[in-house]
Structures are given as structure tokens and as C-alpha cells.
Structure 1
């Protein structure tokens, strides 16, 4: 994969100039970024659940009803939830 990525880097510049070692090292870095990125933080879900917890119940104490209400306010249809 690294060899192919390095080749395509050289190809993009028309095989003019550049350094094969630099192409290789930059391709190696790109590949490692693709495969070794840390897991995404669940922060978005936590913020959403925090908003649900802070919602007034307004006659409905059902968590699913509160989730649907917040989702609807965000512009999502019930089918998207």
C-alpha cells in the first residue's frame, strides 16, 4: 500500500522533481493515519444524552418520548431516530 501511495504521489506531479524517499515517507505517514487513528470520542452522544436529561418532562416521563422530541427539534423525522 505504501509503495502504491508513493507511486501515485510521484505520478500526480508528472514524475518531475521530488524525491522517491520523501514520497515513500509521506505515503507511509498517510497510510498510518488511515489505519491507526484513535477511536472517535463518544462526546457527541454524551452531549445529546445530557440534553435529554435536562429536558423538562412536560407530562411525559418516557425517555423515548423525550428523545423523539429532541430529535424532532433538531429536524430529524421519527424514522431517522
Structure 2
């Protein structure tokens, strides 16, 4: 996972995969607007999991990794 958060470009690629996994269809502007929140979530999950010794303590990037969808 180190390579997934080593740069903004890597996190953007992870963000695109996350969008596909959760069927989030956003235009580029909307993705750019939400990117920093997603980035913070991804980094938080990464560093949390790096310190976990038990798999059941690990976190993941769930559907709301960049906050609640305010357009529902």
C-alpha cells in the first residue's frame, strides 16, 4: 500500500478505483473538489493499518471516504 499513497498522482489513481468500486460518477471538477478529503481519509486508513497487529482492527476506505454525499 505504500505505493498507493506515495504521491498525489498515486492517491488520485486510488481515488479513481474507489469511485469505480462504489459506483461514484463524478465529473473531474467534482472529483477535484472532493480529492483532499479523500486523500486525508486514505492516508489516515493507511497509517492506522500500518500500526495494527490484528487484521480485525484494520480499517478500509468505505463508501463515504470523502464525506457524506450531500447530493442524495
Q: TM-score range by the shorter chain?
A: 0.3 to 0.5
- Which structure ranks higher in relative contact order (CA pairs < 8 Å, sequence separation ≥ 6)? 2
The structure with the largest helix share of the pair is 1
Larger Rg: 1
What is the TM-score of this pair, normalised by structure 1? 0.31
Q: Under a length normalisation based on structure 2, what TM-score does the superposition of the two structures give?
A: 0.33
